Amino acid sequence: MKHVIALDVGGTGMKAALVAQDGTLLHEERRPTGREQGTDAVVAGILDFAAHLRDEGLRRYGTAAAAAGVVVPGTVDQERGIAVFSANLGWRDLPMRQLLGERLSKWPEGLPHKGGGGRRAGHGEPLPVVLGHDVRTGAYAEGRIGAGRGADRFFFVALGTGIAGGYGIDGRIDPGAHGNGGEIGHIVVRPGGPQCGCGARGCLETLASAAAITRAWAAACGDPDADAADCARAVEAGDERAQRVWDDAVAALADGLVVVQSLLDPRTVILGGGLAEAGETLFTPLRAALQERITFQVPPTLVPAMLKDTAGCLGAGLLAWDLLSLEVTA
């Protein structure tokens, strides 16, 4: 079975898959990112997970993966394959594509070569690797096969450990001039507010991300193990403390989205990531908050992501297949 490796690295967890040419997820796995162990351990974990997926594909299909697509948070130089900066994971100017290519070029010891692997299998040649931005790649997947399919202009927002976005125009995602396009999480919505990992204060992701809600709700309820999902359930149960935490986050998110609407004027805003799993507990007050803030802008259609938390992983697979298509036509 011809397949590619897809790996989506998040702030707290990694999702990986073997992806067929038609976009089918042949095999899926998850692991924690382990950021509490430091940047070097995170990078080692990414390389180990990618190698494990290579080995899994060999065991299952007896043939090497055709390519690998890996997406990471922060600022990414996709052309050079450099993970430039991640506030949540702590790296700077990391040559991720090179590191992955070197790690995935070797046939693992102890695995027999069953044949059918093509010119790359078992000959020490580098595996083609493409590096992408996790959220922009998730946006790409939503635009190709998800909630943004057929939309001429949409903005995808991932509400997870941090907050980031991707602007889709006629089927492509605009990365910006320097790879920073879509970084809605670092719009300052509360000047002088909480310190952000990027160095600024009052960034949207310090107030409305799942991590921010987790911190606020744990402090409000006195349970250090409480998280954002617990807060959403408490809101649904009528807990006034949870409602205050939730309202603060929704207000900040609405402020950030109004900025996006003013600058980019997307027709559709797609919300994904773990926080969007709260459904109408999030969408109903957010639509109302947006409507309160809209003046001259045309309000966007606010919809949930279709691909849920597999968007980044599917997008990584699509990037890998796109890379192979470019190799063929080059």
CA 191 to chain centre: 26
Where the chain has pLDDT below 50, the residues are 113-123, 330
Can you tell me whether residue 140 is helix, strand or coil?
Answer: helix
pLDDT of residue 105: 72
pLDDT of residue 121: 41
pLDDT of residue 115: 43
Domain 149-305 top-level CATH class: alpha beta
pLDDT of residue 110: 52
151's tokens: 């939309």
Q: Are 54 and 67 in contact (CB under 8 A)?
A: no
Q: Which CATH architecture has domain 4-136+310-329?
A: 2-Layer Sandwich (3.30)
pLDDT of residue 180: 83
What is the DSSP track for 216-251? HHHHHHS-TT--HHHHHHHHHTT-HHHHHHHHHHHH
Can you tell me whether residue 185 is helix, strand or coil?
Answer: helix
Residue 132's H or E segment, with its range, is strand 129-133
pLDDT of residue 124: 59
pLDDT of residue 240: 98
Q: How far apart are CA 314 and CA 174, in angstroms?
A: 18
pLDDT of residue 109: 52
- Whether the domain at 4-136+310-329 and the domain at 149-305 fall into the same CATH topology: yes
Q: Where are the domains of the chain?
A: 4-136+310-329, 149-305
